[in-house]
């Protein structure tokens, strides 16, 4: 049983006890303090809020109900899976009789969309299954085929979408439980890519590249609920991103209930309402049409959409819909969005706070995503208290959050060795001034963490939490950026881009200075919060130009001459400095100290 001496985390791990807590303490699970309270005893938890502390009748009922809960608790009842109806259309309907609208020639890396006008009776979201095989002839027998799942878009309209991965002619043939949609066929043409498009991002060792080989550096930002804010704020967010240095945006599908996230969105993913409940068998297609519009707009800005499929900060019931609904939702959204070149999947933000889901559930859900994504987009899962097992084969890269208030980016190289995959520290704290420790670091500190991660061969994510009267914090809702770190992140991006490989990897380091780059070609040592007035540097074999980089003031000063052996590098005794060594035969543009002084 559970009583005043039981820990909150243990109670939340029991379905029955969790239901009791949610009934009597409805704001507890979505509390911003939840992570800090998991080890606190229930008797202390109820004393935190005066409204619960002084409600003697409620507390008496709470303890009485918890006292009869067994440690495991009865599992929550969920609806069963709904199989497509094989008799959805009668035999009087001719097979392949639906009308087909083919797309005009589609540029490579664009979205191929085949539209079918078909039946709308019953509930096509669950009654009808639609798939198609797309075949590309290729040259000299090099063709291939893709299995693509279709989806219902409302008003009798069914869509099949494919990312145009290869130029040339593609043919398709459909299969469906609806007779009119079964056996349809056609051909589509994929043309040369549009200027500036590079295709989806894939893993390249410990780093990333686009399908055409162009290097991708995921210097990302976070605006969790930006697509649920309405036209004015969403358009302001896009305008801000157009001028910002970020190449990836972490964002949720579902709205968020948390600090500074109390507003209701205009539309939801399912038909229904917060007051009357949801019909989890029917999607509101307007919600998904809006979401994919915003993802396409990010793509035109050259920004990857790192889409968070589940999160725990929920007051609408979307975090715990049950396995059948979870699976159906994932199938639907992945089929809709996998054709976008700029999509990444994130199974969850803080997966370990979604109490209703076990590791086995996450493995099943990841398999659903993989089965419905013919293009194999990047996929990961983000933690709060403990890492997921990032060695799982479906995980392409490690999406991590800090496990220590101060030390996070400094672990990048160790995590690379541990997991053997790219490290993306999507949440290391945010630049801002709110009362939470994760949301009030300075611009200097956030920039330092970016550099610490970069020289160790990884990537750190940005967020901003400056409070304003409208409670429009970038990390939650987007809008405007006012912090000092984005321009410094842009400067870091330029330094990374000058590497011969376009990235940095860990190099043999000193006890007080991490070094990263490309061995014997391009080496950076970062001093962080230390502030030496000089550094004696032992150079690798060969001749090097030596640069002094002020990562905060965004300057690069080159020592005169070419150096070999040992060099004494003068430094300004300021924090956030770095030294760069560039092999003399490959010299990026940088003004010398003498030129700057002149």
In angstroms, how far is the first alpha carbon of the chain from the final one? 78
Residue found by looking up tokens 């007779």 in the block = 179
Q: Please, which pLDDT band fits residue 511 given cuts at 50, 70 and 90?
A: very high
- Helix-then-strand count for the chain, H and E: 16, 31
Q: Tell me the average pLDDT across 128-147.
A: 88
Is the distance from CB of 187 to CB of 171 less than 8 angstroms?
yes
| Burial label, 104 (beta-carbon count in 10 A; 0-12, 13-18, 19+) | exposed
Is the distance from CB of 286 to CB of 227 less than 8 angstroms?
no
Q: How far apart are CA 462 and CA 425, in angstroms?
A: 9
- Closest C-alpha to 376, from 206, 202, 210: 202
SS3 for 213?
coil
Q: How far apart are CA 308 and CA 474, in angstroms?
A: 17
Residue found by looking up tokens 């040259």 in the block = 139
| pLDDT given for residue 39 in this prediction | 76
| Burial label, 152 (beta-carbon count in 10 A; 0-12, 13-18, 19+) | buried
Is the distance from CB of 69 to CB of 14 less than 8 angstroms?
yes
Q: Tell me the average pLDDT across 529-551.
A: 97
Alpha-helix residue ranges (DSSP H) falling in 437-539: 443-455, 474-477, 485-497
| pLDDT given for residue 179 in this prediction | 98
**Per-residue model confidence as pLDDT tens digits over 284-329:** 999 999 999 999 999 999 999 999 999 988 889 999 899 999 999 9
| pLDDT given for residue 594 in this prediction | 36
**Per-residue model confidence as pLDDT tens digits over 253-274:** 999 988 898 899 999 999 999 9
**Per-residue model confidence as pLDDT tens digits over 1-37:** 788 888 888 888 887 888 888 888 877 776 767 766 7
Compute the 3-state secondary structure of the chain and give helix, strand, coil in percent, each to the nearest 5. 25, 25, 45
pLDDT of residue 170 exceeding 60, the answer is yes
| pLDDT given for residue 76 in this prediction | 61
Work out the percent of the chain whose per-residue pLDDT is above 90.
79
Q: How far apart are CA 427 and CA 421, in angstroms?
A: 17
| pLDDT given for residue 589 in this prediction | 47
pLDDT of residue 137 exceeding 90, the answer is no
| pLDDT given for residue 199 in this prediction | 98
Q: Which residues contact 442 (CB under 8 A, 6 or more apart)?
A: 431, 484
Q: Which residues contact 127 (CB under 8 A, 6 or more apart)?
A: 84, 85, 88, 177, 178
pLDDT of residue 62 exceeding 70, the answer is yes
Q: Tell me the average pLDDT across 156-182.
A: 97
pTM score, whole prediction:
0.90
Higher pLDDT among residues 105 and 585, named by residue: 105
| pLDDT given for residue 586 in this prediction | 60
Alpha-helix residue ranges (DSSP H) falling in 169-250: 231-243
Write down the mean pLDDT value for the chain.
Answer: 93
Is the distance from CB of 553 to CB of 487 less than 8 angstroms?
no
Alpha-helix residue ranges (DSSP H) falling in 13-133: 15-24, 34-37, 42-48, 50-53, 56-67, 124-127
């Amino acid at each position: 049983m559970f009583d005043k001496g039981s820990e909150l985390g243990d109670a939340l791990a029991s379905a029955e006890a969790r239901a009791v807590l949610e009934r009597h303490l409805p704001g507890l699970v979505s509390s911003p303090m939840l992570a800090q309270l998991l080890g606190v005893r229930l008797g202390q938890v109820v004393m935190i809020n005066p409204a619960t502390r002084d409600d003697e009748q409620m507390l008496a009922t709470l303890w009485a109900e918890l006292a009869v809960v067994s440690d495991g608790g009865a599992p929550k009842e969920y609806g069963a899976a709904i199989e497509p109806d094989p008799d959805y259309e009668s035999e009087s309907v001719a097979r392949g009789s639906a009308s087909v609208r083919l797309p005009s020639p589609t540029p490579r890396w664009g979205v191929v969309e085949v539209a079918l006008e078909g039946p709308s009776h019953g509930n096509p979201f669950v009654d009808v299954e639609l798939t198609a095989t797309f075949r590309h002839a290729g040259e000299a027998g090099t063709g291939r085929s893709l299995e693509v799942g279709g989806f219902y878009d409302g008003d009798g309209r069914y869509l099949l979408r494919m990312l145009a991965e290869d130029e040339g002619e593609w043919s398709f043939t459909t299969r469906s439980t609806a007779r009119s949609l079964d056996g349809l066929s056609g051909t589509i043409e994929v043309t040369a890519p549009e200027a500036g498009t590079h295709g989806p991002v894939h893993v390249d060792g410990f780093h990333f590249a686009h399908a055409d080989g162009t290097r991708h550096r995921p210097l990302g930002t976070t605006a969790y609920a930006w697509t649920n804010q309405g036209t004015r704020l969403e358009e302001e967010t896009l305008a801000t991103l157009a001028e910002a240095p970020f190449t990836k945006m972490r964002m949720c599908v579902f709205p968020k209930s948390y600090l500074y996230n109390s507003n209701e969105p205009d539309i939801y993913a399912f038909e229904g309402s917060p007051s009357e409940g949801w019909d989890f068998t029917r999607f509101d297609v307007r919600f998904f049409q809006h979401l994919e519009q915003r993802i396409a707009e990010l793509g035109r800005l050259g920004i990857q959409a790192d889409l968070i499929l589940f999160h725990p900060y929920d007051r609408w019931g979307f975090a715990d819909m049950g396995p059948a609904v979870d699976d159906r939702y994932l199938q639907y959204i992945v089929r809709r969005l996998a054709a976008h070149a700029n999509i990444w999947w994130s199974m969850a933000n803080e997966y370990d706070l979604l109490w209703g889901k076990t590791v086995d559930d996450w493995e099943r859900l990841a398999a659903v995503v993989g089965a419905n994504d013919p293009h194999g987009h990047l996929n990961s899962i983000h933690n709060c208290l403990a890492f997921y097992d990032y060695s799982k084969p479906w995980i392409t890269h490690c999406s991590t959050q800090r496990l220590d208030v101060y030390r996070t980016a400094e672990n990048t190289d160790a995590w690379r060795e541990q997991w053997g995959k790219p490290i993306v520290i999507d949440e290391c704290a945010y630049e801002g001034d709110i009362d939470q420790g994760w949301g009030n670091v300075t611009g200097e500190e956030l920039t330092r963490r970016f550099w610490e991660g970069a020289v160790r061969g990884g990537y750190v994510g940005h967020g901003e939490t400056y409070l304003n009267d409208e409670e429009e914090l970038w990390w939650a809702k987007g809008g405007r950026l006012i912090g000092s770190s984005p321009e410094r992140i842009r400067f870091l991006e330029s330094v990374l881009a000058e590497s011969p490989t376009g990235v940095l990897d860990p190099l043999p380091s000193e006890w007080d200075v991490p070094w990263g780059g490309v061995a014997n070609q391009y080496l950076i040592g970062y001093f962080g919060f230390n502030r030496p007035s000089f550094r004696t540097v032992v150079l690798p074999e060969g001749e090097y130009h030596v640069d002094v980089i002020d990562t905060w003031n965004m300057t690069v000063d080159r020592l005169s001459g070419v150096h070999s052996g040992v060099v004494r590098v003068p430094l300004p005794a300021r924090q956030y400095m770095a030294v760069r060594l560039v092999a003399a035969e490959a010299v990026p543009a940088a003004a010398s100290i003498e030129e700057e002084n002149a």
